A and B are shown apart, each in its own frame.
Chain A
């Protein structure tokens, strides 16, 4: 199916600012789904609140636009009830890791089969540029006028520690890699986390003098490196991208099927 077939055209134009990276993530996601040849009826997209979460409205799947931070909890209910559905949960960095941080680590711990996409623009965009848990020390935001003293999470390390069985990172510059990673993540049976560095020229960029959207994407090009590369050893400040974790682990819904079997046996 052509990519266009996956979007709800009449709900465009989208709400994202010119230069926003989120449209690129949407594009990559749809290409990944297209390449996988999935039927639209088997995909459920669950999102929370924020710029990134509006992605759900634009795609022609079963779409659930929930409340701030709780997308993974809602998705857990959908998945438990209908394990055959493919759950994709796009979230912003504040949505996933501040207000939704608890659900993030617990979903990872359970290894429930869904794909969590953390669209990391290091800022709360929809409310106008407040610092997020991924802004990092020394950044500027409307709520950090004297610079931010909060350290940032490392999404990949957090997901790994919480037990996610697939963990990857890419950027809006590396669209080919991003598409490939999203494909892998959706195919992976278990909790998959894909962090996507996605530029917000309007708030994070302007506040922190990061230049235009193109400048910010160039930053991704110049300051990231494939996982385990030699460049990283020489320059520890480089951000690694690629697949960090991909392991086979018992999946939650399949395990629950065994519980049902055991419970039913005990009865007869």
Chain B
């Protein structure tokens, strides 16, 4: 008999299911391969629950629209790929500066520029971190299978509400388009974080940008009883523009610290056979599937191989990577770019000279053989 809670769907659809589960109210987007299925499906599903969908004139407008909608108290999301993600960067910085919760999905394809639209890449890891200008912190999460796509999408909304920050879901073409099973959790099975709203009553002074002692910033919905100003300029606790050095300094510290001080709370990762691993593969997103394949294949053949699959890429969990790799002879980062997470891993471990890369940058999904070839070279066995 068919189990109604099991679906056989694309990763992009799993992301939609996760977003709806988390309480998505509003989506604005612009068509772009390989993320378009997210917009298509939400145009159908959102109005069924009274939510709103709009196809904007470009990705800049999409980002603007979700920020505006979030301010009124909605849970919001947009989805795009490389070129569209580039266009979103200025407004992304605005959401960081104004601390407006929102979720941005980037289903990565090959770049730079138009690149290779229907093929996979993981080349936007740094862009997610530093794409917008100025000093800032950001949260970026990824996943390697549909159950985790669902879970990380829910997490993205929760983190976004908790820390009042944009969260980037950095999926890729393979995950987005591939179909596999998703078991839908029941309502209530996964915890959901709702918007923390101010308890300040009408007529009492509300300071929209005065964090509580725990660092959280209670919000008042636009259209509610508190009228305040929101600006991308450095601003004081009222939300008013300020160039007072103390105000500027404190705000940038607050924006960075609220993420940096919670690295371990935000860090999501999975580990396989790390206890006795002499060689550790570190991977994320779809490439972690190929890495896992290699580990499962070589373990029974006597190789002490393990896998650390990162889900949170930013803030990078340096301490966790350091601790997990402390006994490894070799660390091999498996990714589909020129070494973006490689660099972070090298910065995290005790002996960076023992960190290698198994990568692919030609639009072809990295194969288990690609990884095993590199392993053989590292182990001095030749190709």
Chain A residues packing against B (C-beta within 8 Å)? 8, 11, 40-42, 44, 46, 56-57, 60-67, 70, 73-82, 84-85, 102-103, 106, 256, 259-260, 262-264, 266-267
B52 touches A41 (CB 8 A): no
- Looking across the interface, which residue of chain A has its beta carbon closest to that of B67? A74
What B residues does A66 contact at CB under 8 A? 64, 67, 94, 232
A106 touches B57 (CB 8 A): yes
B56 touches A73 (CB 8 A): yes
Q: Could you say which of B172-180, B222-230, B255-263 contacts chain A?
A: B222-230
30 CB < 8 A contacts A-B: A8-B229, A44-B222, A57-B231, A62-B223, A62-B227, A63-B227, A64-B222, A70-B64, A70-B91, A73-B62, A74-B64, A75-B68, A76-B28, A76-B64, A76-B68, A77-B26, A78-B71, A81-B25, A81-B52, A81-B69, A82-B222, A82-B223, A85-B72, A102-B58, A103-B61, A256-B47, A256-B52, A260-B50, A264-B48, A264-B50
What B residues does A256 contact at CB under 8 A? 47, 52, 54
Mask, B185-199, CB within 8 Å of A = 1, is: 000000000000000
- Looking across the interface, which residue of chain B has its beta carbon closest to that of A85? B223
B52 touches A70 (CB 8 A): no
A65 touches B232 (CB 8 A): yes
Q: Which of A73, A79, A80 has the most CB of B within 10 A?
A: A73
What A residues does B241 contact at CB under 8 A? 57, 65
What A residues does B222 contact at CB under 8 A? 44, 62, 64, 78, 82, 85
For the complex with contacts A73-B64, A264-B47, 19 further pairs of A-B residues with Cβ separation under 8 Å are A41-B223, A44-B223, A56-B229, A57-B241, A64-B71, A65-B233, A66-B94, A67-B232, A70-B61, A73-B61, A77-B66, A80-B52, A81-B72, A84-B223, A103-B57, A106-B61, A260-B47, A260-B52, A263-B44
What B residues does A77 contact at CB under 8 A? 26, 28, 64-72, 76
Q: Which of B26, B52, B66, B76 has the most CB of A within 10 A?
A: B52
Contact of A63 among B67, B90, B225, B230 (CB under 8 A): B230
A60 touches B227 (CB 8 A): yes
B74 interface contact, C-beta 8 A: yes
B26 touches A11 (CB 8 A): no
A81 to B225, CA, bound (A): 17
B38 interface contact, C-beta 8 A: no
How far, in Å, is A158 (CB) from chain B's closest CB?
15
A76 touches B232 (CB 8 A): no
B240 interface contact, C-beta 8 A: yes
What B residues does A64 contact at CB under 8 A? 68, 71, 222, 229-230
Chain B residues packing against A (C-beta within 8 Å)? 25-26, 28, 44, 47-48, 50, 52, 54, 56-58, 60-74, 76, 90-91, 94, 222-225, 227-233, 240-241
- Looking across the interface, which residue of chain A has its beta carbon closest to that of B52? A80
A8 to B238, CA, bound (A): 12
How far, in Å, is A259 (CB) from chain B's closest CB?
5
What A residues does B54 contact at CB under 8 A? 76, 80, 256
- Looking across the interface, which residue of chain A has its beta carbon closest to that of B47? A263
What B residues does A76 contact at CB under 8 A? 28, 54, 56, 61, 64-65, 68
A267 to B67, CA, bound (A): 29
- Looking across the interface, which residue of chain A has its beta carbon closest to that of B51? A260
What B residues does A85 contact at CB under 8 A? 72, 222-223
- Looking across the interface, which residue of chain B has its beta carbon closest to that of A69? B60
What A residues does B67 contact at CB under 8 A? 66, 74, 77
- Looking across the interface, which residue of chain B has its beta carbon closest to that of A267? B48
B47 touches A63 (CB 8 A): no
Q: Which of B48, B222, B224, B230 has the most CB of A within 10 A?
A: B222
With contacts A77-B26, A80-B52, A102-B58 taken as known, whether A62 is within 8 angstroms of B66 at the C-beta atoms is no
- Looking across the interface, which residue of chain B has its beta carbon closest to that of A265? B48
What B residues does A74 contact at CB under 8 A? 64-65, 67-68
What B residues does A106 contact at CB under 8 A? 56-57, 61
With contacts A73-B61, A102-B57, A264-B48 taken as known, whether A78 is within 8 angstroms of B227 at the C-beta atoms is no
What A residues does B65 contact at CB under 8 A? 73-74, 76-77, 80
- Looking across the interface, which residue of chain A has its beta carbon closest to that of B202? A41
How far, in Å, is B324 (CB) from chain A's closest CB?
40
A85 to B241, CA, bound (A): 25
What A residues does B63 contact at CB under 8 A? 73
- Looking across the interface, which residue of chain A has its beta carbon closest to that of B60? A70
A266 to B52, CA, bound (A): 16
A56 to B64, CA, bound (A): 17
Contact of B227 among A40, A73, A82, A266 (CB under 8 A): A40
A177 to B184, CA, bound (A): 60
A11 touches B223 (CB 8 A): no
How far, in Å, is A85 (CB) from chain B's closest CB?
5
A40 to B222, CA, bound (A): 12
A65 to B231, CA, bound (A): 5
Contact of B90 among A8, A42, A67, A103 (CB under 8 A): A67
- Looking across the interface, which residue of chain A has its beta carbon closest to that of B76? A77
- Looking across the interface, which residue of chain B has its beta carbon closest to that of A105? B57
What A residues does B72 contact at CB under 8 A? 77-78, 81-82, 85
How far, in Å, is A61 (CB) from chain B's closest CB?
6
How far, in Å, is B17 (CB) from chain A's closest CB?
16
How far, in Å, is B100 (CB) from chain A's closest CB?
10
Contact of A81 among B48, B60, B74, B233 (CB under 8 A): B74
What A residues does B74 contact at CB under 8 A? 81
A62 touches B47 (CB 8 A): no
How far, in Å, is A6 (CB) from chain B's closest CB?
11
- Looking across the interface, which residue of chain B has its beta carbon closest to that of A259? B47
What B residues does A84 contact at CB under 8 A? 223
How far, in Å, is A75 (CB) from chain B's closest CB?
6
What B residues does A11 contact at CB under 8 A? 240
What B residues does A67 contact at CB under 8 A? 64, 90-91, 94, 232
